[in-house]
Amino acid sequence: MIDPYHYFPDGKQQLATEAVRYTGEWVARTLRKELEAGPVAGLRAFLGLWRGIVVDSDFRAGCPVLAVAIEEPPSDETPAALVAAADVFTTWERLLADSVRAHGAEPAQAVQLATLTVAAVEGTVAMCRAKRSTQPLDHTADQLQTLILATITD
């Protein structure tokens, strides 16, 4: 049997931190690629990733970044996994905001829309798991696309 602590000598926190970073970069790579076609394409790709995860896992899997973010820290100090989660959310927001801004949105509005998008998608993934349905994802996708289209100028 493989001992995970051989590869992660700092234990569960190190394992969680690496899982968050890995997921964060995997999603960011997809976003970077899809956002080249515009913010709506990026949104569709972002939602598509999570749709695949929840459906392919029969609604058992979610986002490890969110899981770490809502977990109670084990001590008075901020664990590395929580710092990594904040960094991942910031990266996703920045990528989305940059794309929306590049397509004509005001800078402040682009940042707010990016934050709303990440928050809505993360919450929607949790709702899909609880309801064992992609309906929350579909509703969120429709509304976020409408907001993006109303915000951009091209």
Residue 33: how many other CB atoms lie within 10 Å: 12
Residues 44-67: pLDDT tens digits?
Answer: 999 999 999 999 999 998 888 887
Choose among 58, 61, 13, 53: nearest CA to 30.
Answer: 53
The DSSP letter of residue 152 is -
CA dist., res. 121 & res. 144, Å (int): 9
Give the other-Cβ count within 10 Å of 74's Cβ: 10
Per-residue pLDDT reduced to its tens digit, 8-53: 566 677 778 888 899 999 999 999 999 999 999 999 999 999 999 9
Which domains are delineated in the chain? 8-151 (1.10.357.10)
Residue 117: CB partners within 8 Å, gap ≥ 6? 43, 46, 93, 96, 144, 148
